[in-house]
């Protein structure tokens, strides 16, 4: 039965990053652990802590399950439980206090005991370390202090389904007509399986004439998409620095003209996505989107300059012709 807990978060919880006070000077390795599990068999690992302060620190532990908060992949820690099911219920770790002398390094053993009837697939939890012990202020009430922690991404052996699909591939906001680079591409991947997947791939951008204008990496950091979740990945096609276009309309025009020039592109482009995932990246999905780039400021100024040059040439030619005629009349 789900424990009914009231959680009071006294500070922001970060993964692998310290906060204010003594916890700020604690180094935790690694920020995440990924390993397989066999039902009924114990799996052991460890987390290393390093006290960088000049004072002794006592740390306490807490294990909670997590899911994906949204399509950014940010973890949503289930501080309200459940605590009697999922990976957090299988993890054994010293509750604390874990004493760290100044400059001391400590390895904290982590034992995972999946039950015989553990469901095959992905199970996810986080082991938190906090400077303050959980304080019970009443039945079912827990306080969690500022914490650092390690993510546990596990896969229970059994009927594993590695399946995914493309939920979307567009430019940012679905724009089809743009003035310049950079251009942001949004790839939305749907994990339809029961384990986390790390889709990777490329976006190849070609011009109207079929020339390759750029090749972009998708998910170079190999971020994970959790089961039954959509994960968004972004890739950017850019060339030069974009300067802020502040000021009145006149100054903004010239600043944006510079941005167009430094990030020049012109015409119709096609972006071809090739995304792979699964075991040894043996599954693949593709998609295509098209867009136009029309740097109107550069074209406008270019047209004005060209017109001025043509007018000057016409004037020079006319002047030259008058000179020729005049010289011919003198010879007569």
Q: What is the pLDDT of residue 9?
A: 31
| Lowest mean pLDDT segment, chosen from 53-62, 104-113, 280-289 | 280-289
Query: What share of the chain has pLDDT > 70, as a percent?
Result: 88
Superfamily of domain 164-294: Immunoglobulins (2.60.40.10)
Q: What is the mean pLDDT of residues 153-160?
A: 96
Q: What is the pLDDT of residues 71-92, one digit of tens each?
A: 998 999 998 888 899 999 999 9
If you average pLDDT over residues 106-122, what whole number do you get?
A: 96
pLDDT for residue 68: 92
Q: Would you say residue 126 has pLDDT above 70?
A: yes
Q: pLDDT > 90: what percent of the chain?
A: 70
Query: Sorting pLDDT into bands at 50, 70 and 90, what band is 329?
Result: confident
Query: Is a pLDDT exceeding 60 seen at residue 121?
Result: yes
Tell me whether strands 177-178 and 283-293 are parallel, antiparallel or unpaired: parallel
Query: What's the confidence (pLDDT) of residue 135?
Result: 61
Give the range among 70-74, 151-155, 281-285, 319-323 with minimum mean pLDDT: 281-285
Residue 312 confidence (pLDDT): 95
> Are 77 and 68 within 8 A, CB to CB?
no
Place of tokens 């114990």: 42
Separation CA 20–CA 26 (nearest Å): 11
| pLDDT for residue 231 is more than 50 | yes
Query: What pLDDT is recorded for position 330?
Result: 77
Break the chain into its structural domains and give their ranges: 6-156, 164-294, 306-332
CATH number for the domain whose boundaries are 6-156: 2.60.40.10
> Which candidate, 56, 46, 53, places its Cα nearest to that of 26?
53
Nearest Cα to Cα of residue 31 among 127, 97, 145, 104: 127
Q: Which residues pair with 123 in a beta bridge?
A: 154
Contact 210, 241 (CB under 8 A): no
pLDDT of 4 strictly over 90: no
pLDDT the model gives residue 10: 30
Domains 6-156 and 164-294 share a fold: yes
- CA 88 – CA 92 distance, rounded (Å): 9
Task: Judge contact between 163 and 192, C-beta under 8 A.
Answer: yes
Predicted confidence (pLDDT) per residue in 244-269, tens digit: 888 888 988 999 898 999 999 999 99
Over residues 283-315, the pLDDT tens digits come to 899 999 999 999 999 999 999 999 999 999 999
pLDDT tens digit sequence for 164-201: 999 999 999 888 999 999 999 999 999 999 999 999 99
Q: Dihedrals φ, ψ of 77, to 5°?
A: -80, 130
Using CA atoms, how far apart are residues 15 and 221, in angstroms rounded to an integer? Answer: 16
> CA-to-CA distance for 77 and 64, rounded, in angstroms?
7
pTM passes above 0.85: no
The confidence score (pLDDT) of residue 162 equals: 93
What is the predicted pLDDT for the residue at 78? 93
């Amino acid at each position: 039965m789900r424990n009914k807990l009231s959680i009071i978060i006294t500070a922001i919880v970060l993964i692998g990053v310290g906060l204010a006070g003594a916890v700020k000077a604690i180094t935790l390795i690694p920020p995440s652990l990924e390993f397989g599990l066999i039902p009924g068999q114990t799996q052991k690992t460890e987390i290393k802590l390093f006290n960088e302060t000049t004072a002794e620190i006592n740390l306490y532990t807490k294990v909670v399950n997590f899911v994906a908060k949204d399509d950014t992949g940010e973890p949503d820690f289930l501080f309200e439980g459940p605590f009697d099911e999922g990976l957090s219920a299988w993890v054994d770790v010293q509750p604390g206090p874990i004493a760290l002398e100044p400059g001391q390094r400590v390895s904290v053993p982590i034992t995972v005991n999946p039950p015989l009837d553990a469901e095959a697939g992905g199970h996810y939890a986080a082991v938190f370390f906090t400077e303050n012990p959980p304080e019970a202020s009443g039945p079912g009430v827990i306080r969690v202090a500022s914490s650092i922690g390690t993510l546990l991404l596990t896969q229970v052996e059994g009927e594993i389904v590695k399946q995914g699909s493309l939920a979307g591939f567009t430019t940012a906001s679905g724009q089809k007509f743009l003035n310049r680079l950079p251009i942001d591409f949004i790839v939305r991947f749907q994990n339809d399986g029961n384990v986390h997947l790390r889709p990777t791939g490329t976006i190849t951008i070609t011009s109207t004439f079929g020339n390759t204008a750029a090749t972009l990496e998708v998910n170079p950091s190999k971020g994970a998409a959790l089961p039954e979740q959509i994960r968004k990945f972004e890739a950017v096609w850019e060339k030069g620095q974009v300067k802020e276009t502040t000021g009145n309309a006149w100054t903004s025009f010239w600043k944006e003209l510079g941005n167009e020039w430094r990030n020049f592109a012109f015409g119709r482009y096609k972006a071809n996505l090739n995304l792979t995932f699964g075991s040894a990246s043996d599954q693949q999905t593709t998609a295509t989107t098209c867009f136009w780039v029309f740097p109107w400021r550069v074209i406008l100024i270019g047209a004005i300059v060209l017109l001025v040059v043509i007018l000057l040439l016409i004037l020079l030619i006319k002047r030259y012709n008058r000179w020729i005629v005049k010289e011919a009349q003198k010879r007569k």
